[in-house]
Amino acid sequence: MSGPVGNIMRAERPGPVQMELFVSDKILPPVYFLSAIILAVLLHFLLPMWKLVHYPWLLFGLIPFSTGIVFNLLADQTFKKYDTTVKPFERSEVLVTSGVFRVSRNPMYLGMQLILVGIAVMLGSLAPFVIVVVMAVIFDRKFIVPEERMLADRFGLEFRQYCRRVRKWI
């Protein structure tokens, strides 16, 4: 099926998808994400730096933490609804632009970043915030940029129009 379908766009042709961008690194984003959580907690306790957030303000970390979980669940649910892949190494069959994808082109990475911010706030020291910044760069360079190249190759004008309407992160 080609052409618009609701708020999605099915690919008309396979197109020159650059899968070699993905094949070289099979480590999926959740592995980086879980590693970042572990590293943030370890650094907080092993290298206690400046305390930035104190009780009861630490509890405000629950807001980005829970928002991040919701973003990830909604994005995953939307991918499943349109029967396209969640994995960055697999070819997308559908350009999803509805639901949480109206807020961010990368709601799962945004969700993971929000969870990391929430954890950093709840821990309250500087070290976890360093991990947040490092992970944003890793997610962008290792996953978002190649994924968006692949989507541009696959969906062309529709993807470029989507990029003009919706920001990369938020």
Please indicate, yes or no, if residue 43 is contained in any of the structural domains.
Answer: yes
Please tell me what DSSP assigns to residue 103.
T
Residue span of the structural domain in which 135 resides: 27-165
Report residue 161's pLDDT band, with 50, 70 and 90 as the boundaries: very high
Predicted pLDDT of residue 7? 54
Please indicate, yes or no, if residue 73 is contained in any of the structural domains.
Answer: yes
Phi, psi (5° rounding) for residue 28?
Answer: -80, 155
Please indicate, yes or no, if residue 22 is contained in any of the structural domains.
Answer: no
Give the least confident one: 16-30, 37-51, 140-154. Answer: 16-30
Please indicate, yes or no, if residue 114 is contained in any of the structural domains.
Answer: yes
Phi, psi (5° rounding) for residue 24?
Answer: -70, -20
Predicted pLDDT of residue 165? 97
Report residue 17's pLDDT band, with 50, 70 and 90 as the boundaries: very low
Q: What percent of the chain clears pLDDT 90, i.e. is strictly above it?
A: 74
Cα–Cα distance, 13 to 62 (Å, whole number) = 44
Question: Alpha-carbon dihedral of residues 14, 98, 103, 28, nearest 10 degrees?
Answer: -50
Please indicate, yes or no, if residue 69 is contained in any of the structural domains.
Answer: yes
Please indicate, yes or no, if residue 1 is contained in any of the structural domains.
Answer: no
pLDDT tens digits along 44-97: 999 877 888 889 999 999 999 999 999 999 999 999 999 998 988 788 889 999
Number of folded domains in the chain? 1
Please indicate, yes or no, if residue 5 is contained in any of the structural domains.
Answer: no
Please indicate, yes or no, if residue 9 is contained in any of the structural domains.
Answer: no
Cβ contacts of 4 within 8 Å, gap of 6 or more: 158
H/E stretch holding 111 reads helix 107-123
